[in-house]
Structure 1
Amino acid sequence: MNKNITLRKFDQFADHEENATMETHIEARDFSLFYGDFEAVRKVSLQIPKRMVTAMIGPSGCGKSTLLRSINRMNDLIPSTHASGQMIFDGCNIYDRNIDVVTLRARVGMVFQKPNVFPKSIFDNVAYGPRLQGVKNRAQLNEIVETSLRQAAIWDEVKDRLNANALGMSGGQQQRLCIARALAIKPEILLMDEPTSALDPKATAKIE
């Protein structure tokens, strides 16, 4: 299934000298993932370095999304899913029984193919994660929300309607809101599963 997955690394943050000593952030060691008896990902071994944009490239159905979701255990939500081998993050196998999955997902954020905004205001969508992390100060929340929306290139479009329901936004705006929401909790890693696949070229350009 996944022999056709290729990794491409785009170094946007480090110079060539730093590349020589770049640390591995994620490592798969003979990692397989099953849906019941079906082996969706078969014995994958790979290394992904810190501070690097890395793309998984391959044909439809080769297991890219499944492998990506394995990095923060989103596949756990599917019944009869189980894994073998190891998925190492920050020196630990994330499939060990003692791993706190909620904490893992706070450290490894994810943006899906289709936007999944909450039926709340634009502000509350972005502030949702920080509030769960214990941020209550309004000024601090305001700063987090603005910074995250700026990083997602949507602040100028929504700054005057932060209390509006996010469901009234266009598809491209909703997707950028999801990116802002993921960035708001300051994840160490941000997984993005074809976040522009359902968008028009104009919306895609803004996200990219």
Structure 2
Amino acid sequence: METTLTLKDVTITYDKKPALEQVSLSFPKNRITAVIGPSGCGKTTLLRAMNRMLEEEPGAAVEGQILLNGDDVQKLPPEELRRRVGLVFQTPAPFPFSIYKNMTFALRYYGVQNKERLDAVVREKLTLAGLYEEVKDRLDKSALKLSGGQQQRLCI
């Protein structure tokens, strides 16, 4: 079976204390894979290692190899990797902007200014997340006013 993401002997430490040791696993292509376990067992740590967010934390270190479609994630620019491997945490964290501005932030950052294009993308992506019908009349309202579940779908 073809894989999208492969971890080989991955060990993660915080201040040289192991959080995860010698993890090897593969994520099949075009499949949904759940990472489950009790609180504190390292699920989030593992996910943060996959898109190199751990390197932002002082004292955190990742050893071993993580491959995305055969490419070593350490050799990819972080921006490219994070475009390809996104994370939505248990507690969502939308920007303290309107729903619309949250949805268009990245597009505007990368130079998209056409209002019709922005509107179309907002509608399309909110529909895919099952959120458009719930918020279509209040896109100018703060994303922080959404329920927790709605904030998660917005972040997705």
The counterpart of 1:154, out of the listed 128, 131, 140, is 131
How far apart are the structure 2 equivalents of 1:89 and 1:49?
11
Please list, as runs of the form range in 1=range in 2, the aligned pairs for 1:29-48 lying within 5 A after superposition. Answer: 29-48=8-27
Q: Which residue matches 1:3? A: none
Is residue 47–residue 87 contact of structure 2 (8 Å, CA) maintained in 1?
no
Q: Does 1:107 align with 2:84?
A: yes
Q: Does 1:74 align with 2:38?
A: no
Instruction: Name the SS for the 2:26 alignment partner.
Output: strand
What are the ranges of 5 or more consecutive residues in structure 1 without an aligned counterpart? 1-21, 180-208
Q: After superposition, what is the alpha-carbon deviation per residue over 1:19-70, rounded to whole angstroms, capped at 9, x for unaligned?
A: xxx4211000101111111111111111111110000122222211111111
Q: Does 1:128 align with 2:105?
A: yes
The amino acid across from 1:65 in the alignment is T
What are the ranges of 5 or more consecutive residues in structure 2 without an aligned counterpart? none
Q: Which residue matches 2:39? A: 60
The amino acid across from 1:100 in the alignment is P
| Matched residues, number | 156
Over aligned residue pairs, what C-alpha RMSD do you find? Answer: 1.3
Instruction: Name the SS for the 1:57 alignment partner.
Output: coil
Which deviates further from its counterpart, 47-56 or 123-132? 123-132
Instruction: Name the SS for the 2:58 alignment partner.
Output: coil
Q: How far is 1:78 from its partner?
A: 1.2
How far apart are the structure 2 equivalents of 1:162 and 1:60?
35
How far apart are the structure 1 equivalents of 2:109 and 2:28?
29
How far apart are the structure 2 equivalents of 1:58 and 1:170?
26
Instruction: Name the SS for the 1:53 alignment partner.
Output: coil
Is residue 96–residue 142 contact of structure 2 (8 Å, CA) maintained in 1?
yes
Q: Does 1:118 align with 2:95?
A: yes
How far apart are the structure 2 equivalents of 1:75 and 1:121?
29
The amino acid across from 2:147 in the alignment is S
Q: Which residue matches 1:6? A: none
TM-score normalised by L of structure 2: 0.93
Which contiguous aligned blocks of 4+ residues in structure 1 show a shift greater than 3 angstroms?
Answer: none
TM-score normalised by L of structure 1: 0.71
Q: Which residue matches 2:153? A: 176
Is residue 98–residue 141 contact of structure 2 (8 Å, CA) maintained in 1?
yes
Q: After superposition, what is the alpha-carbon deviation per residue over 1:91-139, rounded to whole angstroms, capped at 9, x for unaligned?
A: 111124xx31111111111111111011111011011122223322221
Q: Does 1:84 align with 2:72?
A: no
